Amino acid sequence: MKRIRVHSVEQYVKEIGPLIQQGLSMYRADLPEEGLLGVGFVGADTEVLISIAEFKQTGDLITYGELIDPYEPEGKKTQKVKK
């Protein structure tokens, strides 16, 4: 299992976006005891993690939604949050 630790919302999206685009099934890979949010992808053997503090410092759900939008297939948009 490859774990990728990122430090900004932008890095997080750059790592998970292409995997979402491939249509891989996503699962939660949080490590709450370490304060990390994470997702993994079935078939990619990859998990991407970011700390809650870094997520809050470098963006928010609106920022995440705007960045992830181009990677998500039409009809399968996960983020509906708009400014």
Whether 62 is covered by a domain: the verdict is yes
pLDDT at 82: 54
Expressed as residue numbers, the domain containing 45 is: 2-70
Q: Are strands 46-51 and 36-41 parallel, antiparallel or unpaired?
A: antiparallel
pLDDT at 61: 86
Tens digits of residue pLDDT in 15-32: 999 999 999 999 999 999
Is residue 61 a part of any domain in this protein? yes
**Structural domains of the chain, count:** 1
What's the whole-model pTM score? 0.86
Is residue 43 included in any domain, yes or no?
Answer: yes
Q: With cut-offs at 50, 70 and 90, classify the pLDDT of residue 11.
A: very high
Instruction: Please give the biggest Cα pair distance in the chain.
Output: 36
pLDDT in tens, 43-67: 999 999 999 999 999 998 889 999 9
